[in-house]
């Protein structure tokens, strides 16, 4: 197991380096200059030149290496080995070119917990609803309950998040009289965004768990468990469910990362102070440091979630992963 985890950990920095390289090249190719605002007050030319010189914004490759040096912590490690005192953070993501007097690290530290909270709640909703619906439909394949669960899952997959969010806003605002827009920090401020984001994932979990349960319930070891006189609940929840969870676990890796990093639409609908809105604004204003910082944060989460899924996969069924 340790060899397997170590091999995956070695792949993490290589993957992130490839993502960083592609992100810098694409962000650099976006037209526009973040230091010049043609529609607003113009900074002095001396200030623009000073910023370019300080952060190497006049050369793609000088910026590439200097930013990588600070953001990866290599610069801080080098200072520590040389005995030099460092005043900045260990992982220096640079300043925001859009928000004055704010650093990218500060923006991410303030906004990321909101996105993570909504994403975690959405995954919880997906697991509770998806597993419940999938298991219920698998008990009698072809029955009315199975057809109902398949129809609900199809609706969940087909309806986009902005439609679900709009409907929930109507229900919460017009019918229940709840103000959920901009109400972060309240129960309803988390519940309705989590439902909006989690329902499509719940539909996928329901379909995957249903198919896995049908296959598991028809297997020899389940028939043996039934022949031993075990209760139906124990057969389903203990013997069949563990193997039926394999496709669900595989789906959870990208689903967790997607739910916690891909809530741009949900954050906009419910006016949440999450990281997604900052990323959209950064792209529009070519805030180079914020673009790279947000993308690398999301990419790191995605890589680590996939690593966690690989470990869980091996724990559930060691035969599925080779050394």
pLDDT tens digits along 48-103: 777 778 778 778 888 899 888 888 888 888 878 877 777 777 788 888 877 777 88
For the record, the structure tokens of 9 come out as: 């950990």
Q: What percent of the chain has pLDDT over 70?
A: 86
Q: With a cut of 60, say whether residue 297 has pLDDT above it.
A: yes
Question: Which of 30-34, 62-66, 92-96, 309-313 is the most confident on average?
Answer: 62-66
Burial class (CB in 10 A: 0-12, 13-18, 19+), 311: middle
The number of C-alpha atoms within 13 Å of 311 and in the hemisphere containing its C-beta is 14
Taking only the tens place, the pLDDT of each residue in 5-17 is 777 788 888 999 9
Q: What is the pLDDT of residue 251?
A: 82
Higher pLDDT, residue 129 or 38: 129
Which one has a higher pLDDT value, 108 or 222?
A: 108
φ, ψ for residue 58, nearest 5 deg: -100, 0
Q: What is the pTM of this model?
A: 0.76
Whose tokens are 């923006």? That residue is 107
> What are the tokens at 6?
């170590």
* Cα separation, 113 vs 100, whole angstroms: 22
Report the C-alpha gap between 83 and 322 in whole angstroms: 44
**Rg of the chain in Å (alpha carbons):** 24
User: What is the per-residue pLDDT for 35?
Assistant: 64
Q: Where are the domains of the chain?
A: 2-82, 111-318
Instruction: Say which CATH class 111-318 falls into.
Output: mainly alpha
């Amino acid at each position: 197991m340790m060899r397997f985890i170590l091999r995956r950990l070695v792949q993490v920095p290589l993957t992130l380096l490839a993502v960083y390289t592609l992100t810098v090249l694409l962000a650099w190719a976006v037209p526009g200059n973040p230091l010049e605002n043609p529609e607003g007050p113009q900074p002095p030319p001396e200030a623009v030149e000073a910023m370019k010189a300080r952060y190497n914004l006049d050369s793609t490759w000088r910026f590439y290496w200097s930013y990588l040096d600070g953001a990866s912590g290599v610069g801080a490690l080098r200072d520590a080995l040389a005995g030099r005192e460092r005043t900045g953070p260990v992982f220096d993501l640079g300043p925001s070119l859009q928000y004055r007097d704010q650093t990218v690290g500060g923006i991410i530290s303030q906004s990321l917990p909101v996105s993570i909270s909504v994403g975690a709640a959405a995954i919880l909703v997906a697991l509770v609803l998806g597993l419940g619906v999938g298991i219920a439909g698998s008990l009698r394949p072809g029955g009315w309950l199975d057809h109902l669960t398949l129809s609900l899952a199809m609706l969940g997959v087909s309806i986009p998040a902005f439609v679900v969010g709009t409907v929930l806003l109507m229900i919460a605002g017009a019918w229940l009289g709840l103000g959920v827009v901009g109400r972060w920090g309240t129960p309803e401020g988390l519940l309705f965004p989590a439902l909006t984001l989690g329902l499509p994932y719940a539909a996928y979990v329901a379909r995957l768990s249903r198919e896995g349960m049908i296959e598991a319930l028809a297997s020899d070891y389940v028939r043996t468990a039934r022949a031993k006189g075990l209760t139906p609940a124990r057969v389903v929840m203990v013997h069949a469910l563990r193997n039926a969870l394999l496709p669900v676990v595989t789906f959870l890796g990208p689903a967790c990362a997607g739910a916690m990093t891909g809530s741009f639409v949900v954050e906009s609908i419910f006016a949440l102070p999450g990281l997604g809105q900052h990323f959209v604004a950064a792209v529009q204003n070519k805030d180079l440091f914020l673009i790279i910082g947000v993308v690398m944060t999301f990419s790191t989460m995605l890589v680590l979630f996939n690593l966690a899924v690989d470990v869980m996969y091996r724990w559930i069924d060691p035969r599925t992963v080779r050394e």
